[in-house]
Structure 1
Amino acid sequence: MERIDLLITGIGRLVTPPGNATRCGREMKEIREITDAAVAIRNGRITLVGPEQEVRDFLAGVEIAETIDVCGRMVTPGLVDPHTHLVHGGTREHELALKRSGVPYLDILAQGGGILSTVKSTRAASEQELYNKARRSLNEMLMNGVTTVEAKSGYGLTLEDELKQLRVAKCLNETHPLDIVSTFMGAHAVPPEYKGREDDFVDHIVHEMLPKVAEEVLAEFCDVFCEHGVFSIEQSRRILLEGKRNGLIPKIHADEIEPLGGAELASEVGAISAEHLLAATDEGLAALSKHGVVPVLLPGTSFNLGLSKHARARDMIDKYELPVALSTDYNPGSCPTESIQLVMMLASLNLKMTPEEILTACTINAANALGRGEHIGSIEVGKRADLTIFDAPNLAYLPYHFGINHTFGVIKNGNVIVWNRTIVTTEAGKEEAV
């Protein structure tokens, strides 16, 4: 071994799910834990991990460029947020009173609010305005311990405005320390100019939007809001299959409000993930399990919408042995929060998940929901050195002591990005981890 770029010592407790693959069912509780640990990093990758004395003995005589002591804190893999609507204009706090008075989400959308309100703001915003707003949100996510985030379009609903959102996300991926994974979601709502001509809008997505997104290589995934009053099963199937023909991997907003059959469709089209799933049926969950689809649950959304029903995480884990992932669903309407740690608490409170399951859901399973399990999501030799340092004695402390940010530091691609609760560099520093 020629040299170590960074040696992290003084890790009171290192906790990580093992391996690269999704952890299903009871496997979600199985974590690797090392006390008094150390991690060695070279060229942005993990070179060595284990008990500190063993690591130091192995590195005897090896040049170590920098050593940092985390003073007994807990270290986990960098957290992954696999479902967000990062790039958008405006805010929707004016809808709060409507929600609290009991007006259903789909009714607000039908009245021209909801997604369509944000569409108006996003269309009016410049790329620079969208970039600045999204960058502030990325900084909040980073401070919460997130190192990789997915970003969906879907607030433009015209060819140029969808491309504008995706170009902003691409630029952020190039300039911000976080990795941003882009998803095309032109099928997020039917814009006012296509009201009553929904199939014409689907034609526009299929014939105009998808080929251009693919030509400019602006997205890796294609998503659809498959829901009553938005896009039907037939329309969603057509868009997702056409997305596949254009090289985009399917994702789907499935069975969020009504049991429409979105989970079954996710399995049929070979989606990598199905997201929301509050109303998914037993048949739908069985189909997800049979075809290896990752369910991405968004407990912050059901909480913010004041719903009494939550996703059936316990059935997904215990009965169907699914690899549950968690995400913020950060967006300006149904879940305006960048805090993955709030989501972790809500997963404990409302989804009845254990601390070990929550960590697995926010790391290796979330990474696999983005097709990145081989590179991130666990602390393993050879993987990217994406690590979160928590001011917490153990995993259970994170959802137990809620309402605060426990992140002390973040290491991204082997670079210290956050230290002592402060962002210490804004350099992307990604070239070494390619």
Structure 2
Amino acid sequence: MKNDGISYGPLVEQLVLLVLATAGLGAILASGFYIFSILFVPLVGLCIYRIIRRYGESIRRVTFMFNAIDNDDLTFRFRDDEAEADNRMLNTALNRIKEIIVRAKLRAEERERYYQLIMECARTGLVTVNDAGSVYQANGEALRIFGLPRMTHIRQTETSMPEACRALQEIRTGQRLHVKEMTEAGEVNLSLTCAEIMLDQKRLRVIAVSDIDDYLAQTQIESWSKLTRILTHEIMNSLAPITSLSDTLLHLGRPLDTDVAQGLETISATSRRLTAFVETFRRFTRIPEPQKAPVEVRGLLERAAALVATPQVGITVDVQPAEMLVYADEGLVSQVVVNLLKNAREAVAAQPDARIDVRARIDEGENIRIDVTDNGKAIPAAVTENIFTPFFTTKADGSGIGLSVSRRIMQLHNGSLRLTSNTDRRVTFTLLFE
């Protein structure tokens, strides 16, 4: 008898021999020739013994295999070259079972690596925790948001982000929580959602944490842009006839009353100043679409530094690797860097050891990061909440659109501009090109 190339003959032969011996013994006993039963009893016993022995050996091998699998040890292999065909058949079958399990395990590991890669590529922080707060898994974005090198328990966030820690503990399936934190780098806005799963008979919560600062900033800037376009359009429509009419009256070619002439000159001058003021605001809504091309980062930063540096304020530029390139609109990005350097120069003007450092690196996510750091005083909390708000300024002659325009330019490059450090002697604005 054959099946998949494996011989079942020896086992069948033993069974047939046992049946024949048993039938012969029964026939002798039935005929009354008991003395002849002595010939068949040993044969029956031998057949039963051999079958029981083979059964026991099979059970031991199967038990050994299951114990090894239970201990996650799949290095075993049974000999498939034994002389006895039935042992060879069993060993071959057990080895085949092991190979099926190994393939299934490899497929599971591949799927796990695939899902892990998806988690790491996600722009949303993902944290898996149990009811006690222990962290089973946290992706790179979650670690970045919470500023941790690794995360084993949600209490690790309590010192730097107490509100976020409380939200991680309290959030449950279907809830959406918004958290606002004040950190050294300024205000951070987080959105948290939660789902529950059962894994290895344990209930786990999968918490998605999103840093919505960029989204809020983009929404805010778009709203301000629309409002500014409407207001400047209406103001210009109203100013244009006033300016034109006052100029016409002033140049009629005939003498005017002194008071009338002065009034018309005042109206004309005021309308021109208002026009110039509105044109400044119009710049906020007239940012051209970036014309991107490969740009050498070191050259761009050094040229911007040369425009801003003074004998009193030194600017150092450090770019690693030195040949770093960024795919961007050089003119627009230079405008951002120059604006940040000018702000930094004003911030350190009163410092006897005034210093500005510009540092460019490639971060862990293969993004280009440019840090502009000065050693001035920390920006007050009341100011950091609004520094990127259009038309907000603390300068007497400022328009309040410099940082807003800079952030908008970075958003048009699919990047971001943030205040990433805000302490005395270390204030850092970071440009990130993704």
Which category describes the TM-score, using the shorter chain as reference length?
under 0.3
TM norm structure 2: 0.21
Which has more radius of gyration? Answer: 2
Between 1 and 2, higher relative CO (CA 8 Å, sep ≥ 6) is seen in 1
TM norm structure 1: 0.21
